[in-house]
Amino acid sequence: MLKQLITIAGMVVLAGCSAAVPQGEAAAVAQRFASAAPAEACGLLAPETLAQLERRSGEGCAAALAGLDLAGGGAVHQVEVAGESAQVKLAGQVVFLARFPQGWLVTAAGCHKPDPDPAEPYECEVEP
């Protein structure tokens, strides 16, 4: 019985730790994107987001990002992970991410809510 309780307790502890890992990884990628030079930030974009950014701007990714009003890095205020998606609220913007085989990638950035109503969508500088 004691052995079963120890095993169950260990599983609970591991489950709690595994939830923190995706949040930490998503937050790290969001901060890296927000503080990176445009060329480096391009490597953190999800494929569809990268393609849309270049299509809309008519420029390469680095030039397109350099022309946008993206807030710099900043402290992480909140991280929410739901399955393969994450939302990271930084000091100056909200960044959305998705988990790909290579890790977390940015799907939208430079996001702000013009209206505090939760039903209103975010407006983003970079989006798919």
pLDDT per position as a tens digit, 85-95: 999 999 989 99
Q: Cα separations (Å) of 97 from 3, 9, 12, 58?
A: 40, 32, 27, 24
Q: What is the DSSP letter of 30?
A: H
CA distance 7 to 82: 27
pLDDT value at residue 92: 87
pLDDT value at residue 21: 60
44 closest CA partner among 66, 28, 56: 28
Residue 1 in tokens = 């019985």
pLDDT per position as a tens digit, 59-103: 999 999 999 988 777 789 999 999 999 999 999 899 999 999 999
